[in-house]
């Protein structure tokens, strides 16, 4: 991950943060969300996601990419620490991401020693699923999770998303919102944005 993420400062008093791991192109969405009254308290931090090699539904993730993913998790953890040092409680910090970024967000949220606000995974899946049971923290299963996925995704197949949810439920996670977007490929749509916004409002609402 790049050491210097794009940071979009809030238009109001900073009381919550979203760390959204992405490759490119998500800054306009963050700017749009920031402009809405209900999100003026949020700082958006956009690190560049780890680029998983041989990333496909058929090939999966190469075992040697585990180290790269965990390195990216440490980067996100350091960003979380910086926000906490700036006075933001960890339970007011939402981690999220698209595609590879969703993979990193899942791993970060589930293994974080700090209690976070939640995880938002867009068109992603749970990496290192065979190892995650021993890696998760005791409080992780209480995390609110939003997972959005298109049912025509040719990159991260829809079934991967469904399998992720099944695995999370087996691990004891219960606060899960799984949304299917008919006809959507490896992308983002207006309906998903509305659902994402509703999740943000629920887990890091504006404070009085």
Q: Which residues are catalytic?
A: 99, 153, 186
Q: Dig out the tokens for 185 from the structure.
A: 């490929």
User: What number of residues does the chain have?
Assistant: 208
By the 10 Å C-beta count (0-12 exposed, 13-18 middle, 19+ buried), 35 is classed as: exposed
**Under 8 Å between Cβ of 91 and 112:** no
């Amino acid at each position: 991950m790049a050491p210097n993420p794009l940071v979009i400062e809030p238009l109001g008093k900073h009381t919550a943060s979203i760390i959204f791991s992405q490759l490119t192109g998500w800054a306009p969405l963050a700017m749009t969300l920031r402009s809405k009254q209900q999100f003026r308290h949020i700082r958006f931090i956009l690190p560049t996601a780890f680029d998983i090699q041989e990333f496909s539904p058929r090939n999966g993730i190469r075992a040697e990419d585990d180290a790269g993913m965990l390195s990216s998790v440490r980067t996100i953890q350091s960003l979380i620490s910086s926000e906490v040092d700036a006075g933001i409680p960890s339970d007011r910090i939402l981690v999220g991401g698209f595609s590879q970024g969703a993979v990193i967000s899942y791993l970060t949220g589930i293994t974080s020693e700090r209690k976070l606000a939640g995880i938002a995974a867009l068109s992603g899946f749970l990496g290192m699923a065979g190892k995650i049971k021993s890696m998760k923290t005791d409080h992780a299963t209480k995390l609110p999770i939003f997972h959005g996925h298109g049912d025509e995704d040719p990159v991260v197949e829809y079934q991967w998303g469904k399998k992720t949810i099944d695995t999370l439920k087996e691990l004891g996670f219960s606060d899960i919102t799984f949304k299917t977007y008919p006809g959507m490929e490896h992308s983002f749509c207006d309906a998903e944005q509305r659902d994402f916004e509703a999740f943000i409002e629920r887990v890091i609402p504006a404070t009085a």
